[in-house]
Amino acid sequence: MKHTTDLSFRESVEVMFNRAVSLMDLPAGLEEKIRVCNATYTVRFGVRLRGEIHTFTGYRSVHSEHMEPVKGGIRYALSVNQDEVEALAALMTFKCALVETPFGGSKGGLCIDPKEWDEEELEQITRRFAYELIKRDLISPSQNVPAPDMGTGEREMAWIADQYQRMNTTDINAKACVTGKPINAGGISGRVEATGRGIQYALREFFRHPEDVNLAKLSGSLDRKNIVIQGFGNVGYHAAKFLSQEDNCKIIAVIERDGAVINQDGLDIEALYAHMSKTGSIKKFSGGTFQTNGSSVLEMKCDILIPAAIEGSINLLNAERINAPLIIEAANGPVTAGADDVLRNRGTVIIPDMYANAGGVTVSYFEWVKNLSHIRFGRMQRRQEEARHHLLVEELNRVMEASGLGTKLSDKFKEAYLRGAGELELVRSGLDDSMRTAYQHMRELWHSRKDVDDLRTAAYLVAIERVAESYRTKGL
Ligand code: NAD
């Protein structure tokens, strides 16, 4: 079906879900069970601030409990509403299934502009919101584990974890009630960067498959590819940083709320980040040209477009004019169902949100496991691994000397080889493996089934089949 008007985020998710299930052979009852959102809790609570009581509205939605705990971020934004939270919760169900993290799907949100409140006030609001959710087991290490999303970060997660600990003083696993915490509060190395890192690993995997690269009318590797990024927050900044510093990509434009900054030679991402941290805006950045109409920059000619801000930024109003042959959805739902139709017909390849931004939940999974096992990854084996490598290097050097080769292993090789993997290396390795494996599962369907002509449908098919299998095993 062709969509002539733009659908809401939730309707878009519904349409994409329907397209996938129409290609499956699920019993109607099971299909409906997977489609519906199990429950959404709405809470209105008051906090006394600045001499008066302010009432806030928040949500926690649980889409599917085929696996528990359920997992999903908490968003702070004025635009938060029940429909949006439910759509995001559904995406979490499918995302977790696709990257094989053993969770059901959930999401939370609070209608608030975090910029309107100072840190102390935000702490009071967050603790009160958390209190309401904890009371109802909507935050709990075994049942529902939130994480950061738009407008929230490590700081809010630390407040939530502390609130849970105060209310559950004898729970030895209390720290696992939320992920995305600072390291000193039970977090894990590499969580802050994880979603942006996942974008990098997803693109690297995509470019390992020349057949897929050709379908996007591109060639070669990531090297010197021109990239436009919308949203320079946690996800957008980290993706830009890693792709420019480690894969030699050129970030030719960054689009923010108040406009865009462009530099065809490639922006200096660290300098732009420092400027934005200092001034709160990308305006007046000396390393590029500023353009007030930010959203028109989405239409700029580039190799890869990375929407990393909000849902619906690529819609029926601009889809025809999008120039990028490859879009990777770092944000959740940045392409509406109508725009998706237009872009698919034009042959644009879209790496879908459900897969592309799954780095966050994947590393959250590692953090949750770390909290439950009460030990940092690598602590037991790192030095032992180094000692074994040392033995091998020494022996190789001895053999080479004894056989008169006269050469020794280089210091550079020795340094790289001898270093045992610490937590950060292990987290990155686990994330890389998850992103590669999930991409391969999607592309297998994309190429093997004639009725699957895009990665999004393939992603839904893999995910829905896994959720269905889980319900079947449970005997539902
Ligand atoms: P964030 O709040 O750190 O950053 C969002 C950025 O987008 C901000 O800099 C904001 O100014 C900018 N922005 C907002 N509206 C904009 C607009 N209309 N045009 C241009 N820029 C705009 O949020 P984030 O954590 O980076 O999340 C971004 C997206 O990624 C969201 O869709 C979120 O659901 C998704 N996501 C985040 C994570 C995570 O781990 N943080 C994980 C998965 C998905």
Return the residue whose CA atom lies nearest to atom 4 of ligand 1.
233
Q: Terminal CA-to-CA distance of the chain, rounded, Å?
A: 31
Residue with CA at minimum distance from ligand 1 atom 35: 331
Q: State whether the beta carbon of 348 lies less than 6 angstroms from ligand 1.
A: no
How far, in Å, from the CA of 311 to the mean position of ligand 1? Answer: 9
Ligand 1 pocket residue status of 151, Cβ below 6 Å: yes
**253 CA → ligand 1 middle, Å:** 16
**Can you list the alpha helix ranges (DSSP code H) found in 282-381?**
337-345, 353-356, 359-373
**Of the residues 2, 33, 95, 107, which is catalytic?**
107
Cα(302) to centroid of ligand 1, in Å?
Answer: 21
Q: Which three-class secondary structure state does DSSP give residue 254? A: strand
Does residue 357 line the site of ligand 1, with CB under 6 A?
yes
Query: What is the per-residue DSSP string for 399-441?
Result: HHHHTT------HHHHHHHHPPP-HHHHHHHHHHHHHHHHHHH
Give the residue whose CA is nearest to atom 31 of ligand 1. 331
Report residue 135 CA to chain centroid gap. 28
Of residues 165, 67, 149, 146, the one with CA closest to residue 106: 146
pLDDT at 2: 57
Task: Name residues of the chain where pLDDT drops below 70.
Answer: 1-4, 476
Give the number of other Cβ atoms within 10 Å of residue 219's Cβ.
10
d(CA 111, CA 278): 26
Beta bridge partners of 61: 40, 107
Domains and CATH numbers, the chain: 38-187 (3.40.50.10860), 194-359 (3.40.50.720)
107 is catalytic: yes
User: In this structure, what token pair is assigned to residue 198?
Assistant: 């996942």
Distance in angstroms (rounded) separating the CA atoms of residues 86 and 37: 7
Residue 307 forms beta bridges with which residues?
230
Q: Classify residue 216 by its DSSP letter.
A: T
CA 116 – CA 178 distance, rounded (Å): 25
Q: Which amino acid is it at 108?
A: G
Instruction: Name the token pair of 256.
Output: 């923010």
Pocket test for ligand 1, best of 298, 310, 354 (most atoms within 8 A of CB): 310
Give yes or no for residue 109 CB within 6 A of ligand 1.
no
Q: Which residues contact 107 (CB under 8 A, 6 or more apart)?
A: 60, 61, 63, 72, 73, 74, 75, 85, 86, 88, 89, 91, 92, 149
Position 6 scores a pLDDT of: 81
196 lines ligand 1 (CB under 6 A): no
How far, in Å, from the CA of 131 to the mean position of ligand 1?
Answer: 26
β-partners of residue 351 are 328
**Residue-wise DSSP of 432-473:** HHHHHHHHHHHHHHHHH-TT--SHHHHHHHHHHHHHHHHHHH
β-pairing verdict for 104-111 and 52-64: antiparallel
Cβ(149) – ligand 1 distance below 6 Å: yes
**How many angstroms is it from 309 CA to the middle of ligand 1?**
4
Q: What is the pTM of this model?
A: 0.94
| Among 169, 101, 98, residue whose Cα is nearest residue 364 | 101
**Residue 248: strand, helix, or coil:** coil
CB contact set of 378 (below 8 Å; sequence gap of 6+): 420, 421, 422, 423, 425, 426
How does the average pLDDT of the chain come out, rounded? 95
